[in-house]
Amino acid sequence: MRLNVNIDHVATVRQARRHIEPSVAMAAMICELAGADGITIHLRGDRRHIQDGDVRLLRQMVTTFLNVEMAATDEMVQIAREVKPDKVTLVPENPGEITTEGGLDVVKGGRELARAVERLTEAGIRVSLFIDPVADQIEAARATGAQEIEICTAVYADYTTPPSPFFRRAIPYDPARGQQECERIREAARRARSLGLSVAAGHGLTYRNVRAIAAIDEIEELNIGHNIIARAVLVGLERAVREMVELIRRVR
């Protein structure tokens, strides 16, 4: 099983101040040093976190594997053809969304997606489609010519993540249904592999819920972001405060 670390939210913190820290490139290097198999970033249309310059810099610095998530727009396809990441994962993007809301509708939008897949493949880029674990979507994905799918684990993640006191979610915490959703993901992964597609998975995976998904043999790669960066803030905070305390106490 390979792990690509999604470092979008390192850029989210940087963009909060429009400054240079924390460095997205340095974060990528640390992930690689720690054993990540690849780096994932999402260049969104609204550029809310990752910027075009990050994509170009990471292309030069990442020596493992660079996976860029993007919408299948002409603008994004053109950027990918220039920068040439190792893989492009095509994702849906809706205005105003907090994060990607489910998979692509390949059944409906197959023709347009196939055109994007063709233009990316032509440039030597591997293409994956982010889809829900639904048989029709898998078959439609294969028909586009993409070599790979990424199964959206967002529903599984909601069922297996305890409720937050701050936000209401459409899908309630329900571990038994989480297990059913995990079976649906396993079936989808099997179906995709039987059609010759490579299979990745991701969205909402955490230290608590990742193991059942990681145990699915047909899934070869996970893309995990928010929960790793969230944990990094907490496990790194004590050291960061100690360093500041030491620095100011040395002066006085």
Among 42, 148, 150, 218, which one carries the catalytic annotation?
42
Instruction: Give min distance, CB of 202 to ligand PXP, in A.
Output: 3
Per CB under 6 A, does 191 bind ligand PXP? no
Per CB under 6 A, does 91 bind ligand PXP? yes
**Angstrom distance (rounded) from CA 205 to CA 154:** 8
Using CB under 6 A, which of 36, 149, 224, 232 touches ligand PXP? 224
Using CB under 6 A, which of 27, 83, 100, 110 touches ligand PXP? 100
Sign of the Cα torsion 27, 33, 35, 39 reads positive
Among 69, 93, 218, 221, which one carries the catalytic annotation?
69
- First-to-last alpha carbon distance for the chain, in angstroms, is 51
* Residue 174, SS3 per DSSP: coil
CA distance readout (Å), 148 to 88, 90, 167, 226: 10, 11, 34, 23
Instruction: Give min distance, CB of 163 to ligand PXP, in A.
Output: 17
Q: Which two tokens stand for residue 150?
A: 């990424």
Using CB under 6 A, which of 150, 158, 218, 221 touches ligand PXP? 150
* Residue 73, SS3 per DSSP: coil
Per CB under 6 A, does 10 bind ligand PXP? no
Per CB under 6 A, does 161 bind ligand PXP? no
Per CB under 6 A, does 7 bind ligand PXP? no
Query: Element (H or E) spanning 233, and its range?
Result: helix 226-251
**Angstrom distance (rounded) from CA 148 to CA 99:** 22
Give me the active site residues, please.
Answer: 42, 69, 203
Residues that bind ligand PXP (CB under 6 A): 6, 8, 42, 69, 89, 91, 99-100, 130, 150, 202-205, 223-227
